[in-house]
Amino acid sequence: MNSSDIPASPEVGAWFIGARGSLATTAIVGLHAVAAGLVEPIGLTTETPALRDSAFPGLADIVVGGHDITTTPLVDRARSLAEGGMFPASLVDRVSERVAATDRNLRQVPTGLTTQQEEIDQLTADIVDFRERHGLRDVVVIDVSSTEPLPPYHPGFDDDTALTVALSTPGVRILPPSSRAAAAAVAAGAAYAAFTPSASLNLPALRERADRAGIAYAGQDGKTGETLLRTVLAPMFTARGLSVRSWAGTNLLGGGDGATLSDPEAVRSKLVSKNRGLYSLVGDDVVAPLHIDNVPDLGDVKTAWDHVSAVGFLGSRVTLQTTWSAYDSALAAPLVIDLVRALALATRAGHRGVVADLACFFKDPWGSDVHAFAEQTARFVGWARRSSDAVVAASVAAS
């Protein structure tokens, strides 16, 4: 498709839940730096040659807002990430006014309300106000907040009537924060993506609400490092007929995510989502011990060691050891920007419900059991092309 065929896209809103965290701040600094032409769009899937001409919104057309529970100024957060080596301090200087302007779009999560429905209503009103103030056609909400423990089961997770009653009953606390935020995105009619393993929109009653509202959504838990590598390598073993017996992994990380995941309850959902693709690719009987250690000294640099043991021809042993080391948020931030663009395209192309072809972005993809990265990427490229064609066709029909 020739990029001149694509109708101009009005501004799109990106609403980050956890907007003052390491990942969101890196995405905000990066978006401003790339949009201003200060750095190349390295690491953005949507800027690769196969996808560059698709009908994604322009990077300069994305306006960012969001919620957080803290009030640390974004520029201060960006400076402390720069001190840790995430990106050059000089880059923060060059985008600081733009980042400060984004800060004015951030809102604090309300506290002290009598019912959870009141909180959802306030969160919804903040998103709607953002859309109206900026004259945005579409808003994409992305959850990049701290990973939570999974909530204890409540019948309202499966049944909308029970959910409605519980949400409106004073003092009843049924939904965890990520699910309240997801409910607000649905109520605001915004597209939604879960970049964390938290419960979020992954409760049947909330998914039904999302389907009824006709929003496009995708999840869950960004696939950025060790799991990405695993879903590239595991299909190789399978394709060569090598039998993988064990795949052990150790992750060392610091930063906010490292501190959060040092809680044994919070880390549980992460461990499940990290291993799901592996079991699907090499079989459920693989021995796959996996742990995540908080090492504050490492700051935002994450190191993952994997040890793979397989059996080959005549029972011979094959061993593979990998070391992956990277600034975690710098891996994830471009994917968050990609997801904003992809879900904006989905909305514009009239896609409703789960967008399974975004599986390449997630450890535990919703609506898809495809985990092999090459196949996921091919599906995403095909989907983006078809969606772009639909946008062009609709625009031609309207003119």
Ligand X SMILES: NC(=O)c1ccc[n+]([C@@H]2O[C@H](COP(=O)([O-])OP(=O)(O)OC[C@H]3O[C@@H](n4cnc5c(N)ncnc54)[C@H](O)[C@@H]3O)[C@@H](O)[C@H]2O)c1
Closest contact distance (angstroms) between CB of 125 and ligand X is 15
Residue 149 is a binding residue for ligand X (CB under 6 A): no
Q: What is the DSSP string of 37-50?
A: TSS--TT-GGGSTT
Residues 91-130: x/- map of binding to ligand X (CB under 6 A)? ------------------x---------------------
Cα distances (Å, whole numbers) of residue 388 to 47, 237, 328? 14, 35, 31
Judged by beta carbon, residue 230 or residue 348, the one nearer ligand X is 230
Residues 220-249 that bind ligand X (CB under 6 A): 221-222, 224
CA distance 292 to 28: 27
Closest contact distance (angstroms) between CB of 222 and ligand X is 3
Residue 145 is a binding residue for ligand X (CB under 6 A): yes
CA distance 146 to 263: 12
Residues 168-187: x/- map of binding to ligand X (CB under 6 A)? ---------x----------
Judged by beta carbon, residue 47 or residue 257, the one nearer ligand X is 257
Q: Pull the structure tokens for residue 359.
A: 């599986």
Judged by beta carbon, residue 110 or residue 367, the one nearer ligand X is 110
Residue 23 is a binding residue for ligand X (CB under 6 A): yes
Among 15, 44, 68, 304, binds ligand X (CB under 6 A): 68
Residue 249: which of 275, 222, 269 has the closest Cα?
275
Among 119, 257, 306, 338, binds ligand X (CB under 6 A): 257
CA distance 237 to 11: 45
Closest contact distance (angstroms) between CB of 193 and ligand X is 11
For the four alpha carbons of 82, 273, 216 and 342, in that order, the dihedral sign comes to positive
Q: Pull the structure tokens for residue 166.
A: 């519980």
Residue 147 is a binding residue for ligand X (CB under 6 A): yes
Among 45, 196, 269, 303, binds ligand X (CB under 6 A): 196
**Burial readout 33-67 (b: 16 or more C-beta within 10 A, e: otherwise):** bbbeeebebebbbbbeeebebbbbbebebbbbbbb
Among 103, 119, 138, 328, binds ligand X (CB under 6 A): 328
CA dihedral 120, 364, 302, 146 (to 10 degrees): 10
Judged by beta carbon, residue 102 or residue 387, the one nearer ligand X is 102
Q: Which residue stretch of 16-24, 53-61, 134-142, 343-351 sits at the interface with ligand X (rule: CB under 6 A)?
A: 16-24
- 397, with CB counted inside 10 A (0-12, 13-18, 19+), is exposed
Q: Which residue stretch of 20-28, 159-167, 212-220, 305-313 sits at the interface with ligand X (rule: CB under 6 A)?
A: 20-28
Residue 151 is a binding residue for ligand X (CB under 6 A): no
Closest contact distance (angstroms) between CB of 217 and ligand X is 17
CA distance 143 to 109: 13
Amino acid occupying residue 90 = S
Q: Which residue stretch of 39-47, 89-97, 143-151, 337-345 sits at the interface with ligand X (rule: CB under 6 A)?
A: 143-151
Q: Residues 6 or more apart from 386 whose CB is under 8 A from it?
A: none
Q: Which residue stretch of 140-148, 167-175, 231-239, 377-385 sits at the interface with ligand X (rule: CB under 6 A)?
A: 140-148
Among 260, 303, 387, 388, binds ligand X (CB under 6 A): 260
Among 13, 21, 41, 57, binds ligand X (CB under 6 A): 21
Amino acid occupying residue 75 = V
Closest contact distance (angstroms) between CB of 268 and ligand X is 12
Judged by beta carbon, residue 238 or residue 262, the one nearer ligand X is 262
CA distance 369 to 384: 19
Q: What is the DSSP string of 162-204?
A: HHHHHHTSTT---S-HHHHHHHHHHHTT-EEEE-SSSSTT-SH
Is the separation of the CB atoms in 359 and 368 below 8 Å? yes
Using CB under 6 A as the criterion, which residues of the chain lie in contact with ligand X when the complex forms?
17-18, 20-23, 67-70, 109, 144-147, 177, 195-196, 221-222, 224, 255-257, 260, 328-329, 331-332
